[in-house]
Structure 1
Amino acid sequence: MVPDTRPDTPEGTPDTPSAVRPRRRVLRTAGLIAVAAVIGLVGGTATGYGIQAERAPTPLPALNQPGLAYPKPLPKGEEPEPLSAAEDRQVKANGDLRKLLVPRPKGARAHGVDGWESLAEYASVYDYPGGALEFQLDLGIRRVASRTWRTGEHRYTTVRLVQYRADAGIGAKELIEDQQRYARQEDRSDSNGEEIRGSRNGRYFFYPVQREAGYLDYYEARAYIWRGDIAVEIYIEDTRKIAENDIRSLAERQLGRL
């Protein structure tokens, strides 16, 4: 029988190698260091806030700084000459809109409105006047000037200038784009419209002839352009075919007056 050479261990004490016992002190030391770090961080933050609170507030830079203006103003004596009344389109647009209407051709007879057209009269040319008037008010319509004349036996021509408030956005553009989309719809016009020379957005359209027993044939051509806050609508109606040059040249002349 091999004698028991282990040292006596007090009763109830775990028989654990002495090499394991120091780890408890290491873990306890690491925990104390972590707690101290947290306390130091919180204390440093609180001290920083206290110091910042005692300082006088730093004034913000002035909002109005002429040196930051862009674009930079030209030196005195190098400013461009102001536009003349003939060159400034805004002077024309804010003047008498009736004077911008293309004049009646020689020999043509006045027919219908020739000058200012009320909003109610303008809305009445649409299929649904009430909806048309509401639509125009939403676009910011300002005033309407129109001129209608008669040439030959059955030809009627109408030129209308519809002006919108400048602060309302892009009313003229929206109206013309809406009319052009409508003209391109199926069974409306013969084509997608032809571009009006000198205009990036103007187009003219020819509509299919309308024939009905007991009535004369009905031909129609339209042109739609916008320039700034003014929309241009041109209508030619006849019982005979309308030449392409008739609607195109009229649209170009009216555009030139704007």
Structure 2
Amino acid sequence: MEVAERPPRRRRRTAALLTGAAVLGVVAGTCTGYVVQARRPPTRLPSLSQPALKQATGEPEPLTAVQDRQVRTDGDLRKLLLKKPRGARDADFVQGDGWMDVADYAETYDRPAGAFGDLLGAEFRRAAVTAWQAGRTRTVEIRLIQYRQEENLEARDAAENAQTWAERGGARSRPVPGTGTGRAYVHPHPETRAGYLPQYTAEAHAWRGDIVMEMWITDTKPVSKAEIVGLATRQMERL
């Protein structure tokens, strides 16, 4: 006895029929909508004309130096550095009048010759530095480095590069409030050299506009996070 073949399923065709019915339904609904809309009275459109706005007279007042950041940063960069606290004395390792040219700043790197070329390529503009000694063992150094930034955001790149180096060795870090990406670092282990007391270090790196802020605190005893964060915050508030 032969078994009759099962008729093929027609899901595709059924779907096509349903689709056709849906299309017809849409067309019918659209036609009905047009008929209903045609019987309605026309709706008055709002006027395209608008009342004339009153123009301001006179010239706008220029921003003050406090309001205009560029006025501050294009002036004497040294005035933006934190002032030496009462009772502290100038650090003897900072020479000159507080300015650093590209050669001076390159000398702060492990490889000055290579750093000199890199700084020129990065559109180094100028740098200002201050440093003081508090008590018998604590020193603080702050630098503000300014870039021209005609091509790239060199200040941001320089700060991020410094942060990368600071993170090595297991340093504990905290953000510097109000700076976005600025961070302060406390190194848990002191640097030791024969004939010298151990030196604990904390540092901070941040940037704003075309200026990078670099800060170090060194002491023979550990430096707290609150100290470096607080000092870095105060310095960045001046930029």
TM-score normalized by the length of structure 2: 0.71
Instruction: Look up the match of 2:154.
Output: 171
Q: How many Å separate the matches in 1 of 2:80 and 2:213?
A: 11
The total of aligned residue pairs comes to 182
Q: Which residue identity is paired with 1:179?
A: A
Q: Does 1:127 align with 2:110?
A: yes
Q: How many Å separate the matches in 1 of 2:162 and 2:178?
A: 20
Deviations 1:141-198 (A, max 9, x none): 000100011111121110000000142421111100111112223x2x423x210011
Q: Does 1:196 align with 2:176?
A: yes
Task: Find the partner of 1:209 among 190, 205, 212.
Answer: 190
- Say if 2:174 and 2:225, in contact at 8 Å, map to a contact too: no
Deviations 1:16-56 (A, max 9, x none): xxxxxxxxxxxxxxxxxxxxxxxxxxxxxxxxxxxxxxxxx
Instruction: Look up the match of 1:183.
Output: 166
TM-score normalized by the length of structure 1: 0.66
Q: Does 1:115 align with 2:98?
A: yes
Over aligned residues, Cα RMSD in angstroms? 2.0
Shift of 1:133: 1.4
Task: Find the partner of 1:224 among 200, 205, 208.
Answer: 205
Q: Does 1:89 align with 2:89?
A: no
Q: How many Å separate the matches in 2 of 1:138 and 1:75?
A: 47
Instruction: Look up the match of 1:70.
Output: none
Q: Which residue identity is paired with 1:253?
A: R
Q: How many Å separate the matches in 2 of 1:85 and 1:212?
A: 47
Q: How many Å separate the matches in 1 of 2:234 and 2:154?
A: 23
Q: Secondary structure at the match of 1:210?
A: coil
Gaps of 5+ in 1: 1-73
Q: Which residue identity is paired with 2:134?
A: T
Q: Which residue identity is paired with 1:216?
A: L
Q: Which residue identity is paired with 2:63?
A: L
Gaps of 5+ in 2: 1-53
**Closer, same or farther in 2 for the Cα pair 1:212/1:85, shift >3 Å?**
closer
Instruction: Look up the match of 1:106.
Output: 86
Of all paired residues, the percent bearing the same amino acid is 41
- Say if 2:203 and 2:216, in contact at 8 Å, map to a contact too: yes
Q: How many Å separate the matches in 2 of 1:231 and 1:157?
A: 17
Shift of 1:75: 4.2
Shift of 1:90: 0.4
